[in-house]
Amino acid sequence: MSKKLKIGLFGFGVVGQGLHDIIKSQNLNLEIVKIAIKNPEKKRTLDTHLFTTSHDEILDNPEINTIVELIDDADAAYQITKKALSSGKNVVSANKKMIANHLEELVHLQEEHGTSLLYEGAVCGSIPIIRNLEEYYDNELLHGISGIFNGSSNYILSKIFNEGASYDSALKEAQDLGFAETNPILDVGGYDPKFKLTIATAHAYGLFINPDKILNIGIQNLADADIQYAKEKNYKIKLVPTTRKISTKQVITFVLPKFVKSDDFLYNVENEYNGVTVQAAFADKQFFFGKGAGGHPTGAAVLSDIAALRYDYRYEYKKYHQKNGLIHTDRVSLEIYLRYQHEYTLEKLQIENISERFSRHDYKYVIGNVSLKSLLENKDLLLNKDVFIAQTGRIIYTEQDIKAIAEEGILVN
């Protein structure tokens, strides 16, 4: 039998209101006792006695046994989550930045205090990827996970490739619809999918990675020339985070725009939808598809976590506790498309094995190989307005990569 949850809700924005709408429509054994907000002057559709501006009024309330955290401020979300878990309250959160930056500590807090932190809504909206990695793939050998993790950037790219919209007009439309923030760099710059990739990698491989160690390059420098090149090759450009096991002991991660072919599952993932591809040794390739932005899709994922807490569900972090010896590495090379203006860009990145090159007075590009390590070390260069980079999907082992792996006694799969 399920226990009754007495909920303290932090945040009543798009997702918070979406969650409230869903709860009202369901006959569930739960009650929202109090809602923390920032602006008490703002008109609300609910009774004013439900709202408070004091975090402690909720966190110190012994009646409340469950905290649902849906605020934008990652630092405040961390303090709320930490205090709640330490005081015996379970937590549901959708704050991917907070979770990605503090996951290892939060795992230990749960173990120490016998509490549970669930965060399905933090990764890919309505797609239940975390629960699947925890349960369905718990004993599976995963080759890799990749996909479209950010509905805002995908909406922009869909408008560009399907309707011929300009980048600026597509971005404005995404902002008007509430898919992108006023300052959209977290989405279009690849930070949001990087935080989600960090969390997914923890459940897929048991690796807690500092997000600063993961390369993220977004679509903010996309230009007409890049779009034209992709269309001439019958590709679409998607922003694709990737985590991949490249040897028996090594895992790589990165977020880069990618040229996607028509036979790729991601090719037809459009607008605010997300898509996740999981490649496994035994289950082979599987694909998850669903809305990745909007109050109701994310609210539904949050509600799923709340419902699971009624039966004392918690993540077990099995692959982390297995101590499988996996390490995060940058010892691999990627085949990339690089548009650039100055020749020193090629020299600085140490592009090798150039298979295609084009140059005119206003547009230069190459297709060649570059090490992930070099991309990480030269990230600032890649953010220059005159540079755009996209992966082709090919991962290459150079002689140096193979030698480095061999020296560690690791065999390449």
Q: Domain segments of the chain: what residues? A: 5-118, 131-294+325-407
Mean pLDDT of 273-286: 92
Mean pLDDT of 379-400: 91
Mean pLDDT of 301-326: 92
Q: Is residue 128 scored above 80 in pLDDT?
A: yes
Q: Which CATH superfamily is domain 5-118 in?
A: NAD(P)-binding Rossmann-like Domain (3.40.50.720)
120 neighbors 304 (Cβ within 8 angstroms): yes
371 neighbors 332 (Cβ within 8 angstroms): yes
pLDDT of residue 87: 96
Q: Is residue 179 scored above 90 in pLDDT?
A: no
Active-site positions?
A: 196
259 neighbors 392 (Cβ within 8 angstroms): yes
Distances from the Cα of 28 to the Cα of 25, 307, 352, 375, angstroms: 9, 8, 59, 49
Lowest mean pLDDT among 27-41, 103-117, 222-236: 27-41
> Would you tell me which CATH number, out of the four given (3.30.420.10, 3.20.20.210, 3.30.360.10, 3.40.1350.10), belongs to the domain 131-294+325-407?
3.30.360.10
Lowest mean pLDDT among 80-84, 131-135, 336-340: 131-135
pLDDT of residue 2: 67
Among 215, 164, 178, CA closest to 374: 215
pLDDT of residue 399: 67
pLDDT of residue 183: 84
Model confidence band, residue 407 (pLDDT cutoffs 50, 70, 90): low
Count of alpha carbons within 13 Å of 382, Cβ hemisphere only? 24
Q: Is residue 24 scored above 90 in pLDDT?
A: no
Of residues 297 and 98, more confidently modeled: 98
Mean pLDDT of 202-224: 97
Q: Is residue 367 scored above 90 in pLDDT?
A: yes
